[in-house]
Amino acid sequence: MSLVRVEEREAVSVLTLERPPANAFSLELVEDLRQAMRLAGGGPAVVLASSSASLFSAGWDLKVLATFDRPAMEIFFEAYCDLVREIFVFGAPVVAALPGHAIAGGLIVAAAADERIAAEGRGEMGLSEVLLGVPVPQCLLEIFRHAIGARAMERLAATGENLSMEKARSIGLVDEIVPAGQLLARAVARAQKLAALPQAAHAAIKRRSRAAAMARFDQARERDPFLDVWFSKDAQERVAALVARLSRKA
């Protein structure tokens, strides 16, 4: 059974993450979302959504990833980076509908979309990798450099602090905030509006605007020492401690 529900709403492909309780990214969720994006490739627009009323995604599934040896982790890491790249260069408009929290790997996926619409409430966005003793992979940082600029990117990644949706909107990380009950309808309507633009021109502008970011993304993947840091003693101890805390809460 797929972890991504696919449905058509007024010609827009709505891809809904369905991996409760946190929509944490496992290899299976990554691959299911990649497959869903491929199947939606011929359509006019895509909305990324969540089955949860309180969050989009809490990030990578650390409980699972903590058990991976290096070859398994490399497979996951490459597949995840491929997913982010595919969303970022997707030819049709992509709108992320965020009902609440989008953290770490969940925020990175949302940031790769063309636009992000968030629900009113207490949802937060943040990059928490630094708290685990690892940097955000350089290629993934390029998504944020493109979306919000170098200084805001640095602060988001280097501090590990979560932002309210209002603060995220002030730096351009969120485009619009709407009442929670209107979130999906508004995201679909926005995707329709973008899809109604001359498609060839819109796709060309998007491709040209993102070309420099993609060149940096691809170059960074060739030499990023992320996995070396991930498997360092300090990072592994921090990941294990967080997994232990999460397990006690479960």
The Cα 202–Cα 185 span in angstroms is 22
The Cα 3–Cα 134 span in angstroms is 28
The Cα 228–Cα 236 span in angstroms is 11
- Number of Cβ atoms within 10 Å of the Cβ of 87: 23
User: Where are the domains positioned within the chain?
Assistant: 4-195
CA dihedral of residues 39, 6, 88, 177 (deg, nearest 10) = 160
**137 phi and psi, to 5 degrees?**
-50, 140
The Cα 82–Cα 90 span in angstroms is 12
Between strands 115-119 and 94-98, the pairing is parallel
Portion of the chain with pLDDT greater than 90, in percent: 94
User: Mean of the pLDDT values across residues 153-160?
Assistant: 98
Cis before 93? omega within 30: no
| b/e burial code for range 156-194 (CB count within 10 A of at least 16 → b) | bbeeeebbbbeebbebebbbebbeeeebbebbbbbbbeb
Retrieve residue 224's tokens. 């990023």
Q: What's the pLDDT tens digit per position in 7-22?
A: 999 899 999 999 999 9
**36 phi and psi, to 5 degrees?**
-65, -40
Per-residue pLDDT, 250: 65
User: Mean of the pLDDT values across residues 209-220?
Assistant: 97
Q: How confident is the model at residue 222 (pLDDT cuts 50, 70, 90)?
A: confident
Q: How confident is the model at residue 5 (pLDDT cuts 50, 70, 90)?
A: very high
In the sheet where 163-164 sits, what is the strand order? Answer: 55-57, 101-103, 124-126, 163-164
Q: What's the pLDDT tens digit per position in 26-66?
A: 999 999 999 999 999 889 999 999 999 999 999 999 999 99
**What's the mean per-residue pLDDT of the chain?**
96
DSSP result, 153-213: HHHHHHH---EEHHHHHHTTS-SEEE-GGGHHHHHHHHHHHHHTS-HHHHHHHHHHHTHHH
Q: Does the pLDDT at position 248 exceed 90?
A: no
Per-residue pLDDT, 246: 85
Q: Does the pLDDT at position 232 exceed 80?
A: yes
CATH class for the region spanning 4-195: alpha beta
Q: What's the pLDDT tens digit per position in 100-150?
A: 999 999 999 999 999 999 999 999 999 999 999 999 999 999 999 999 999
Least confident range from 82-86, 98-102, 163-167, 219-223: namely 219-223
